[in-house]
């Protein structure tokens, strides 16, 4: 069998951890499977590098930032390879340049296009463990690019797809997915199985355990994932095909990297709104929820929810451009970053009454719901940031700690 392992930054934080990971890999390779390992930078390093760049320069060039960031993963890959060699495992590390891992051109949020697998297969044929840098690639100019924060998971799945791997195992510092973040909810329950779409919903709604793009990629190509703890041998969470008959809720996810935007004005024309959304698209700002209201005097308000620091930063820069433009009818823009999104996730949210219960639970505990968005698999309430933790605990208690709650 060909198995991909991906180790996150906490699993590679220091020499002791790297040696532990090497031991685990040795044990697995002794079973006779071929192994390809994808690594993240040691934990904290990506942030540290970004901080240093901003100390040196106020608006660092994205090309240079990517050139810098790719060193973190290179460090992990070479150190892990050394640790493996030291315990008698034949290993070789590669960065994305060496295996021609092509991406689109956009620095900072590139998308993987293709991976030349010949060199990887040549080394596997020699019975070597191949260690590959996550999170990076090269673009058409042969410059390094990065895939966006948390992108190593996506590299691991992409490599799994290209090499036609039997399994992609994502090693992290918790035992897989839980019904809520165990740091906020002490009764959170570990979830043994999720369909791709359920896991994707959890990941995109803030379960920080995996990069959402990696789950989407696994779903597209039907790759099974196994999310496990690198510190123990617990079973973790398998992500695979949907079990059609099962009607259940999977968990409460939360995210505090949000901003609620209100764009206001009198008689805002459709052309103005159209231009704003086109510009938002061109600036690579993703919006997750939009609503528009107007009163009897035609005073209008367009509200939207932004997720992730990158989106918020880009919008903050764009704000002045809208306000200073004399040709539009916009006279105020509010950006409220003190908000959080708390989501109940699972197939069963379609059953009637789940939202009524969410509303009842939150409002009776004096938590205001500022915006609601729904999908086939989730109901998300935007609340004040200060209420986030309490909201997660209340909803977890309601749906996962009380018998027959749905
Ligand atoms: N080192 C990168 C980050 O911190 C990528 C990753 O860890 O997946 O975002
Ligand atoms: Mg990660």
Is the CB of 265 within 6 Å of ligand 1?
A: no
Q: Is pLDDT at 337 greater than 70 in this prediction?
A: yes
Q: Whose CA is nearest to atom 8 of ligand 1?
A: 150
pLDDT digits (tens, 9 = 90+) for 98-114: 999 999 999 999 999 99
Q: Tell me how far the alpha carbon of residue 122 lies from the centroid of ligand 2, in angstroms.
A: 29
| CA atoms of 207 and 177, how far apart (whole Å) | 8
pLDDT digits (tens, 9 = 90+) for 191-240: 999 999 999 999 888 888 899 999 999 999 999 999 999 999 999 999 99
Per the model's pLDDT, the better-predicted residue between 325 and 161 turns out to be: 161
Residues 6+ apart with CB under 8 A from 113: 102, 103, 104, 137
Q: Is pLDDT at 279 greater than 80 in this prediction?
A: yes
Is the CB of 151 within 6 Å of ligand 1?
A: yes
Q: Is pLDDT at 166 greater than 70 in this prediction?
A: yes
Q: What is the pLDDT of residue 403?
A: 65
pLDDT confidence tier of residue 246, bands split at 50, 70 and 90: low
pLDDT above 90 covers a percentage of the chain that reads 79
Is the CB of 255 within 6 Å of ligand 1?
A: no
Is the CB of 152 within 6 Å of ligand 1?
A: yes
Q: What is the pLDDT of residue 129?
A: 98
Q: What is the pLDDT of residue 245?
A: 61
Per the model's pLDDT, the better-predicted residue between 367 and 182 turns out to be: 367
pLDDT digits (tens, 9 = 90+) for 350-365: 776 899 999 999 999 9
Q: Tell me how far the alpha carbon of residue 336 lies from the centroid of ligand 1, in angstroms.
A: 27
Q: What is the pLDDT of residue 406?
A: 52
Is the CB of 191 within 6 Å of ligand 1?
A: no
Q: What is the pLDDT of residue 307?
A: 86
> Strands 378-384 and 2-7, how do they pair?
unpaired
Average pLDDT over residues 335-347: 94
Q: What is the pLDDT of residue 241?
A: 87
Residue 389 CA: distances (Å) to CA of 178, 196, 204, 206, 397: 16, 27, 18, 13, 12
Q: Tell me how far the alpha carbon of residue 320 lies from the centroid of ligand 2, in angstroms.
A: 34
Greatest alpha-carbon pair distance for the chain in Å reads: 77
Is the CB of 42 within 6 Å of ligand 1?
A: no
pLDDT confidence tier of residue 386, bands split at 50, 70 and 90: very high
Which atom of ligand 1 is closest in space to residue 153's alpha carbon?
8
Q: Whose CA is nearest to atom 5 of ligand 1?
A: 150
Q: Tell me how far the alpha carbon of residue 236 lies from the centroid of ligand 1, in angstroms.
A: 21
Q: What is the pLDDT of residue 405?
A: 53
Q: What is the pLDDT of residue 161?
A: 95
pLDDT confidence tier of residue 244, bands split at 50, 70 and 90: low
Q: What is the pLDDT of residue 207?
A: 82
Out of 239-253, 329-343, 387-401, least confident range? 239-253
Is residue 2 within 8 Å of 164, Cβ to Cβ?
yes
pLDDT confidence tier of residue 326, bands split at 50, 70 and 90: confident
Average pLDDT over residues 34-50: 97
Q: Tell me how far the alpha carbon of residue 132 lies from the centroid of ligand 1, in angstroms.
A: 14
Q: Tell me how far the alpha carbon of residue 177 lies from the centroid of ligand 2, in angstroms.
A: 13
Average pLDDT over residues 146-154: 95
Average pLDDT over residues 267-292: 90
Average pLDDT over residues 36-47: 98
| CA atoms of 37 and 134, how far apart (whole Å) | 9
Residues 6+ apart with CB under 8 A from 99: 115, 116, 117, 119, 120, 132
Is the CB of 236 within 6 Å of ligand 1?
A: no
Is the CB of 137 within 6 Å of ligand 1?
A: no
Which atom of ligand 1 is closest in space to residue 152's alpha carbon?
8
Q: Tell me how far the alpha carbon of residue 171 lies from the centroid of ligand 1, in angstroms.
A: 14
Q: What is the pLDDT of residue 205?
A: 87
């Amino acid at each position: 069998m060909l198995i991909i392992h991906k180790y996150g930054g906490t699993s590679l934080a220091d020499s002791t951890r790297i040696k532990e990971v090497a031991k685990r890999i040795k044990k697995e390779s002794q079973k006779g499977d071929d192994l390809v390992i994808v690594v993240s930078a040691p934990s904290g390093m990506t942030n540290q590098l970004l901080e240093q760049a901003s100390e040196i320069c106020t608006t660092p060039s994205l090309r240079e930032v990517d050139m810098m960031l790719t060193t973190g993963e290179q460090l992990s890959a070479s150190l892990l390879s050394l640790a493996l060699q030291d315990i008698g495992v034949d290993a070789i590390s590669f960065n994305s340049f060496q295996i021609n891992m092509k991406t689109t051109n956009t620095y900072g949020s590139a998308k993987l296009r293709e991976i030349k697998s010949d060199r990887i297969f040549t080394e596997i044929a020699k019975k070597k463990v191949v260690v590959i840098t996550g999170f990076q690639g090269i673009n058409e100019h042969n410059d390094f690019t990065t895939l966006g924060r948390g992108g190593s998971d996506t590299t691991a799945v992409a490599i799994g797809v290209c090499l036609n791997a039997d399994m992609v195992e994502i090693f992290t510092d918790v035992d897989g997915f839980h019904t809520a973040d165990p740091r906020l909810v002490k009764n959170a329950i570990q979830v043994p199985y999720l369909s791709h779409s359920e896991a994707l919903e959890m990941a995109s709604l803030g379960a920080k355990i995996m990069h959402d793009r990696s789950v989407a990629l696994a779903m597209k190509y039907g790759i099974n994932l196994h999310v496990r703890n690198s510190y123990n041998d617990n079973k973790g969470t398998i992500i695979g095909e949907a079990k059609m008959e099962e009607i259940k809720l999977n968990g409460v996810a939360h995210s505090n990297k949000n901003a609620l935007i209100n764009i206001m004005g009198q008689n805002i024309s459709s052309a103005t709104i159209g231009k704003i959304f086109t510009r938002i698209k061109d600036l690579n700002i993703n919006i997750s929820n939009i609503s528009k209201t107007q009163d009897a005097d035609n005073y209008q308000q367009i509200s939207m929810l932004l997720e992730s620091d990158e989106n918020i930063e880009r919008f903050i820069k764009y704000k002045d451009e809208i306000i200073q433009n004399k040709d539009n009818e916009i006279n105020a823009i509010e950006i409220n970053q003190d908000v959080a999104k708390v989501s109940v996730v699972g197939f069963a949210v379609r059953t009637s009454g789940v939202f009524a219960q969410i509303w009842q639970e939150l409002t009776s505990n004096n938590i205001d719901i500022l915006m609601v968005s729904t999908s086939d698999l989730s109901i998300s309430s935007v609340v004040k940031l200060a209420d986030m933790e309490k909201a997660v605990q209340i909803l977890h208690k309601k749906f996962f700690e009380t018998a027959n709650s749905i």
